Amino acid sequence: MSEKLNERKILVLSVIVDNYIKNKQPAGSRVLTKRYNLDFSAATMRNVMLDLEEMGYLTHTHTSGGKIPTPKGIKFYLDMILSNFNPQLREEFEKLPLKNAFGSLDEKMNRILDTMSSLSELVSLITMPDFSKTKIKNIQFVKIGENKILSVIVSNRNVIETKIVSTDRQLSDNELKEFSDYITEKYANKTLEEINEDLQSYINSKKETCEALINKLTEEAKKPTVMIDGIENIFKYPEFQNDLEKLKKLVKTLEDKKTMLELIRSAMNSERIILIGDELPIEGIKEIGFVSSAYKYEDVNVGVVGVVGPINMDYTEILNIVESAKKKINEIINA
């Protein structure tokens, strides 16, 4: 259990975190008391800083006499300022003409992702929606090779997604058309998960094959497709410019599918989440933060919008960007 902080400790911690986010470097007590026009002396400031360091909220660097916040200190600050946070939506997303525009969902998501990475100047990510939870308007199965089926799914919101699934045996064009027509007619406005659970009444001679196809399609639809942009922005982080090994490790982590999926699963279960330091599934790198928000299809979380950046990124501004991107995606898939 953390020690309770009094008002002065909270003020000093807030000043140090705010300075670290805005100026990206530590500052001493004399500079901070003047910069923030504090009504106590630099000596008092130093004593409070020492207390906060003993409590684990601050640490010192080897190259400066100033203090910087630890992940614990930043987390305390974020919990405090974000408890009643209302995002300021960025107009750049409002100007994207995507709601009724022609083009695939991939293209629209890529434009949103590009806007995120440009505005944040950090690493941005979006997952494509989990189509197993979206209501189906139409589904078509098309043979594209030996034991390979292209599934074209149209949601009840007219969002189109394609998935390729493998089958255990070759299916004829007539069988695939029969399956398509049957599922579209019988299960309109049902999700793939609901269809998968309910496919019991189909004629016995075809049931097993159709069930297997829908089962594989549902599994494929549940796999998150992660889109990442702005990895080159990592090279601008001062925290990594002088540490090539950490830089390589972070790039490798962002390209590691297993780690990213673990991160996304934790984000998918939360309306909004901020993870920093040891809270992230990234061993050996404590200088990183992750800001994310889950977007919805109707009332169900189906995808994630997020930004990965240095631990001293401007969290309020990044949240504004993330929430603006989420709002735009919600408009697209729920139109």
- Contact at 8 Å (CB) between 87 and 93? no
CATH topology of domain 91-130+224-333: Beta-Lactamase (3.30.450)
CATH topology of domain 131-222: Enolase-like; domain 1 (3.30.390)
pLDDT at 234: 84
pLDDT at 1: 37
3-state secondary structure of 143: strand
pTM: 0.85
pLDDT at 284: 67
Question: Could you tell me the two tokens for 120?
Answer: 């944040």
What DSSP letter does each residue of 193-251 carry, written as one string? Answer: HHHHHHTTSS-HHHHHHHHHHHHHHHHHHHS--EEEE-GGGGGG-HHHHT-HHHHHHHH
- Contact at 8 Å (CB) between 266 and 273? yes
The residue behind tokens 């790198």 is 285
CATH architecture, domain defined by 7-81: Orthogonal Bundle (1.10)
Looking at the chain, how many residues does it have?
Answer: 335
The region that residue 115 occupies, defined by phi over 0 for left and psi between -120 and 50 for alpha, beta otherwise, is: alpha
- pLDDT tens, N- to C-terminus, the chain (335 residues): 346 899 999 999 999 999 999 998 888 899 999 999 999 999 999 999 999 999 999 998 765 567 899 999 999 999 998 888 888 889 999 888 776 555 678 888 999 999 999 999 999 999 999 888 889 999 999 999 888 899 999 888 888 888 889 888 888 889 899 889 988 998 999 998 888 888 765 645 566 777 788 888 888 888 878 899 998 888 888 777 777 777 888 888 888 877 787 788 888 888 888 999 888 877 767 788 999 999 999 888 999 999 999 999 999 999 999 999 999 999 888 87
Q: Residue 293: which residues within 8 A CB-CB, separation 6 or more?
A: 267, 271, 272, 273, 304, 305, 306, 319, 322, 323, 326
263-301 as b/e: b if 16+ CB within 10 A: bbebbbeeebbbbbbebbbbeebbbbbbbbbbbbbeeeb
3-state secondary structure of 13: helix
Virtual torsion, Cα 90, 122, 322, 81, nearest 10 deg: -90
Domain assignments of the chain as residue spans, ordered by start: 7-81, 91-130+224-333, 131-222
List C-alpha distances in Å: 64 to 29, 58, 73, 114, 227: 12, 14, 19, 37, 39
